[in-house]
Structure 1
C-alpha cells in the first residue's frame, strides 16, 4: 500500500475530503490521509515523514517547492507546487491543480483558445493557473490582487522566468484542441494586471477564476458580471463571488467539481509514476 498525505489548512478541509474521495475511487493501492496544519512549521514536520506522496493547500505551495530537488515546469514558473511523488531515487515536485481546472472547464464547456480570463489573486497558485491558461491558448490573462503593485511584481517575476524557460519546457499538450507549445504560448498570450476593483477587466472576461485567500475580501461584482461568463472557485473560498455569479446567470464551476477532477488526475498520475518505478 502506498501512502499519500494531503496537508490542508483549516479553510479547505472540506475540499481535501472531496479530493480524497475522488482519488480513492480510482485506485485501491493508495491510501490518503489528511493532515490539518496552520503553520509552515507544522507542514514542514509532516513533509519530513516517509510517505510516498504529498498534496498541499495553497498556503504550503512555496514550502513544497523550496524543499524540492526535481521540479516540474509550471512549478518553476510559479515558484510553487501542489504535488510531490517519492519513488526511490525518482522524486518529482510539480503542479497539477491548474491543469485540472483547464481540463474541467474544457470538458464541461468548450476549448479555451482565444478566451479572456481574469484570475483573482497573484500568488503561486494563481500564477500556475495563468501558465496553464496560456498553454490552453487563452488570448488574455489578467491577474488581479488587493494590492495592484503586488500583482505587477508577481506577474513580472513570472514572465521573466517564463521567458527564460520557455524553450526548455517539454510540450506535452499540443495535440489537444487549441493548446500551444510553451514557446508559442508565451508569444500568443497577453498578460495584464490590476486591483480587485478592475471592473472593466472583469466585465470583459469570458472566465473568472478565484484564487483569492480567505482573508481577501472581493468587492461586489454584481454589476460587472455577465450571464455569458463562467465563474470558477477551485478552493471554495469566494462564496460571495459565486452567489453574485449565480444571481447574474453565469455558469458556475464550484470547488467540488474541481476537486473531483484534481483528485482523479493525481490518482492517475501517481499510478503512472508507480508503474514506471516498478518497471525500473
Structure 2
C-alpha cells in the first residue's frame, strides 16, 4: 500500500518540500553552470558553433548516406554561409551567462530527477520505491540521448536549411547571436524532454489519465504530427525527414508498451488486495 506519510503531511508541508526541491535543484544548476562558464572556448567553438562547419559529422553522414542511395552528392554540404553578429553592448556576456545556465541544467538533470523522485515517492507503493535508481538512470539516459539527437540531427539540419534558404538575392543573412543560440538550445532541450515521453506516459497511466487503448487510437494522428514536424525542421528531402521521424515513433510505440505493463501491474495489485 502507499506510504501513509503523504496523508499526514499538510498542504503547507508539501509546499515546503517543493520549495526545497526548487532550491536544491537551482543550486545544482548554478554549480554546473559555474563550471561550464570557465569552459566557454570549448563549449562555443567546438560544440555550439560546430554545426556551422561543413565538416560537421552530421553533414558528412548525410553525404555518405546520399551516395549509398545513389543520389550522388545531392545531400553533401560544401559551404555554410552563416555570419553571426552581436548588436548589443552586453550581448556576448549575457549570452555567455545564459548558455552556461543551459549547460548547467543539462548536466544537473539527473540530480533534478532525484529531487523529483524524493518529492513524489511518498505517494508510491512500498514495492515501487525500490525502483528509484532505475528511474534516475533510465530517465537520465533518455534525456541525454534526446539532447544528442537534437544536437546532432535537428540543430545541424535546421542550421543548414535556414542558412541556405533565400527568398531574394537582395537579402543577406546576418544572423543575430541570440537567434542562433536559441535554435541550438531549443533543439537540444526540447529533444531531451521529448525523449522523456515513455517516463511521462508511465506516470500518466498510473494516475489514469491515459491507457493503451487511448494511445493506440491516436497513433495515426501522432504519426501525421511527427511527419509534419519532421518536414518543418529538416531539409525538404525524404531521407532526412524519415531519419528524424523514426526515433520519435519508436518512443511512442515504447510508451504504448509501458502503458500496457503499468495497467497489467495495476490489475495484479487489485487482485492481491
Instruction: Report the TM range for the smaller structure's normalisation.
Output: under 0.3
- Tell which has more relative contact order, 1 or 2 (C-alpha 8 A, sep 6+): 2
Greater strand content: 1
Greater helix content: 2
TM-score between both structures, scaled by the size of structure 2? 0.23
TM-score between both structures, scaled by the size of structure 1? 0.23
